[in-house]
Amino acid sequence: MRERKTVTVLAPAKLNLALDVVGLLPNGYHDLDMTMQAITLYERVELRRSAGLYLALPGSRVAANDKNTAIKAALAFFDYTGLLAGVDITVHKAVPVRAGMAGGSADAAAVLVGMNELYGARLSMSELCALGAKIGADVPFALMGGTCRVRGVGDFLRPLPPCPD
């Protein structure tokens, strides 16, 4: 089997079809009950094996620094797997920033999925979702995709039948 040097992952945006605040959790966060839908608007995330860690966001005004969810995802992946490696990440942004469409969360999910493939780590969806939840509330949904009922702070997901066209 040939070692992969690059991986490209599409990172779909999402819409909240329903969002209800059903309470307040002991940690101060809102307890939510939502229906989320992945949509066909997406960002393209390219990952390439490297010795370091680098993020490029061509044409975007989003900062390419350690606060970016793509970098947080890469660091979480390396910390969890113990791999001593690096990755160059290029995110081609298309989702409106701060529009509630989970562009950054989708990027983080794409990085986790892509690095899992790039490095053959074979992490399960449960492991990826647990890592993703530490990065952002929408990351587990971005990993699952489709149509889901999402509860808590985004940590309880139940797949639903697809929405009609």
Instruction: Assign 3-class secondary structure to 110-127.
Output: HHHHHHHHHCCCCCCHHH
36 vs 106: CA distance, rounded Å: 13
Residue in 5, 14, 20, 72 annotated catalytic: 14
Residue in 72, 93, 107, 138 annotated catalytic: 138
Query: Any catalytic annotation for residue 93?
Result: no
66 vs 149: CA distance, rounded Å: 31
Query: Any catalytic annotation for residue 138?
Result: yes
Q: How many CB atoms lie within 10 A of CB 123?
A: 18
11 vs 31: CA distance, rounded Å: 26
- Residues with a catalytic annotation lie at 14, 138
